[in-house]
Amino acid sequence: MFKLYIGNKNYSSWSMRPWVLLKQAGIAFEEVRVRFDSFDADSEFKRVMSPVSPTGKVPALVDGDLVVWDTLAIAEYVAETWPDKQLWPQNAKARARARSVCAEMHSGFTALRGNCPMNIEANLADAGALIWRDKAGVRTDVQRLVEMWSALLQEHGGPMLFGEFTVADAYFAPVCMRLHSYALPVPTPIKAYVDRVRALPGVKAWIDEALAEKDFLDFEEPYRLRHTEG
């Protein structure tokens, strides 16, 4: 059985991708959650992860004596191990395009990721309005998403980007969380896709567990203050 090391579900967008992929595909795995305390060399997080992965980061997929520590590499390994799950599109050209959009997400959209860190439990609409007003890079990133998703949904007919659920939908699931939490303005068909992704059983399971964590981490919270009593 696979073992998947992940971070906090509320914050860890990179962890969300392979977890959702495995869960939605119905592939059994053991989850090892490593809490984000800090990322310093002497942190508990690094103490746990450094012996597991050469990067000392999450996610990391362990299969026997093999460790795979990059989200795209994890997706490829899972798809190759479980070919019957058809986690990439079956058509070669569609498959190449799916890999292209995943790679673009992997290395791009830095303004959106940097200004809108994933925070599933928070309502950050007020922060989102200011970000949308002041951060041209975020508007550019969202416009690219709208163009990309609109073309794919139109070409493949939905409900997911390539018709049925694929790696691409798992890969963009954290973006759907951001668009929702920050209430960033998108056209109605894109909002509908975000809602469909959020309703997928594998994604809903992640959301529910993120909401149950109630683990406020100051260094992951640029827009909220910790609630204190007294």
Domain CATH code at residue 178: 1.20.1050.10
Residue 177 lies in domain: 92-208
Do 108 and 145 share a structural domain? yes
How far apart, in whole angstroms, are the C-alpha atoms of residue 7 and residue 34?
5
Do 159 and 62 share a structural domain? no
Provide the 8-state DSSP code for 173.
H
Q: What is the pLDDT of residue 228?
A: 47
Residues 31-50: tens digit of each pLDDT = 999 999 999 999 999 999 99
- Total structural domains within the chain: 2
Confidence of residue 226 (pLDDT cuts 50, 70, 90): confident
Percent pLDDT > 70 in the chain is: 98
Domain CATH code at residue 56: 3.40.30.10
Q: What is the pLDDT of residue 177?
A: 98
* 216 located within any domain: no
- Residue 61: strand pairing partners: 4, 68
* 57 located within any domain: yes
Do 96 and 14 share a structural domain? no
* pLDDT at position 230 over 50: no
Residues 72-119: tens digit of each pLDDT = 999 999 999 999 999 999 999 999 999 999 999 999 999 999 999 999
Q: What is the pLDDT of residue 227?
A: 63
